Structure 1
Amino acid sequence: MVPDIASQQPPATGRPVPPPSVAPSTREDLRAVMAARRDLGPDYEDALVDSFLDKLDVEIAARVRNEVAAHLSRQPPGSQPRQKDNGVAVALGSLGIGIPLTTIAGAAGHLPGMVLAWGGIIAVNVAYALGRRNQR
């Protein structure tokens, strides 16, 4: 049985958190590995250690799952983290590119060049807005 370590106080509270207690099965497994090492000798030491570490990995993974599940259950429903909205960055980037592009297009292609340049900028912004709308 894996102890529920999620109920312990986090270190941010200023109170020390006691180390999680070792499960009785883990303690018994370690004793069995030590006894087997005495019986089998040093030739089997690596295999015994690997076997014990595999069991320990399973227990640690179960503890982590337990802690994450407890943390997620304490969050209010619908409080998933919001994704960062890059709409302002796209708008400011469009304006930042639009000013020099207008100058270049106006000098090279006059009014048709400026219309083409701003048409491209508008197309990028519309494509971004439609993509955002489809993600919601």
Structure 2
Amino acid sequence: MGDEEVERADVEALLAARRELGSEYEKELVESFAARVEEAVAGRTKAVADRDRSDLRDAGAGQIRQFVLGVVSLGVGVPITIVPMVAADGALPAVGIAWLGIAAVNAAHASAVNGRARRR
């Protein structure tokens, strides 16, 4: 736990100090403890917000990479389709295998990007 955490021992120390010092210092003790609680809440809130911003930034980068990979795959797939179909008869199985490979690469990348997003 970090320094800004408020633990049970802190509450017990506050109550012990109140018993020792008496009720005339109660307001100062409570204000001091409330300030520590507010700092702990602010620190935790900032940590969660930073993590969420990082997750959004990472997810956006993965989506952009996936889009670029899809566009590049189409750009590569067109010549892979045209050349064998024009150059040889019966090249359909080779073209099918090439497109299955392209689809597998895209699926693997999408799975990796989406898997990382789900694990967070």
The TM-score normalised by the length of structure 2 is 0.46
User: Between Structure 1 and Structure 2, which shows a larger proportion of helix residues?
Assistant: 2
The TM-score normalised by the length of structure 1 is 0.41
